Structures are given as C-alpha cells and as structure tokens.
Amino acid sequence: MEWTAMEINPEMMNKLGVGESWRFVDVLGLEGDQLSAVPKPCCALMLLFPLTPQHESFRVQQADKVSEGSEVYFLKQTVVNSCGTIALLHAVANNKSELSFDNDSALKKFLDDTANMSPDDRAKHLEKNQPEADKVNFHFIAFVNVDGQLYELDGKMNGVVKHGVTKEDSFITDAAEVCRGFMERERGEVRFSAVALCRR
C-alpha cells in the first residue's frame, strides 16, 4: 500500500485541528540566529530529509539503540509515503496534554482511538485510510520532549531512539543538534527541511 507524500507545509499542517494555541512554523536553519527565530516554547520538531545509502547504513547501526515499551506514543510505518503523517502524529500525540484540539479534529479522534494500542496495531488502524500514491525518496521523522528526555521517532524503526536529557527551553537547540548529525552524514546534500510545533 502507498500514499501520496505529505508536504512539509506549516499552513497545511495548521489546518489539521491542533487548536488555536499552538502552530507549526518553518525552521529556516538549525544554527544560531535561524534557530533562535523559532518561537518558544517549542514542543516538537519534524525533519524531512533524503533517503540515501548513508542514512540506511546509519539506521542499521542505530538499531541497538531503539527503545520499546516506553511512555512515548509510537506508531510503526507500514504504508509507503506515510512518514509525514506519522511524524505529525508523533509530534502531536506526545504533546497531547499541551494542545487544545478543535472539536472535529481527526487527529484527536485517531489519537483517542489508538491510545491503548501497540505500535503495530496503531499502524493497522492508520492503514484504513487509502490516499493515492506518489513516488518519493524523502523521509519525515519527529523529535519530542517526553518527561525531560529527547526522543527521535521514526516509523521505519522498531521503536524510539532516546538522545538524552532536554528541557522545554533547550528542546529546539537539542533537537537541532541531532538533526545536524543527519546533515553531516550526508556531505554535499542540501535537501533538508524542518518545521516545529510552537505555542502561538
């Protein structure tokens, strides 16, 4: 099964029912002044990057760092091109207590319906949606702060990757540091984009 790939478009993401007090914003860069322009507090960062042989090799090395059964809401990716939707769900689900959802929010309904499911069962529930497919070679992941820990959530992995301690005021800087590692592994590659979920 394949879906149409999701754009990294904050305007579109803001129409998905996360309420009035939070919004997705473009992250224009992962260093210095560009990063300081991201509104705070920020509770999630989504990174879009090209899938390359270097990335796939890194993921194999990272497999032993995956955590299962944590307090983190995690959803497996079983549908091609669903990584944007899954990264969005990871960003929102792990900050649900901070958000005020619109009454008719499809995101809230999905999260409520899947709250007590395993990552595999959540994936099966998501598979019930069947948009048309496009061929893409990019991938979305999300970073969140759960209980003072920085987590990386990639639906193609078997669980979450814990990157250590973070705080509300340092989250975006800590997440950006991990993202820069993705960029450094891809020397010469410039096709990276990021959005952050921030309070209005």
| List 83, 90, 179, 198, catalytic entry | 83
| List 42, 43, 90, 139, catalytic entry | 139
Contacts of 59 (CB under 8 A, 6+ apart): 154, 156, 157
| Residue 163 a catalytic site member | no
Q: What is the DSSP string of the chain?
A: -B-PPPP--HHHHTTSS--SSEEEEEE--SSHHHHHTS-SSEEEEEEEEE--HHHHHHHHHHGGGEE-S-SS------SBT-HHHHHHHHHHHTTGGG----TT-HHHHHHHHHTTS-HHHHHHHHTT--PPP----EEEEEEEEETTEEEEE-TTSSSEEEEEE--TTTHHHHHHHHHHHHHHHTTT----EEEEEEE-
Q: How far apart are CA 47 and CA 49, in angstroms?
A: 6
| Residue 179 a catalytic site member | no
Instruction: Give me the active site residues, please.
Output: 83, 139
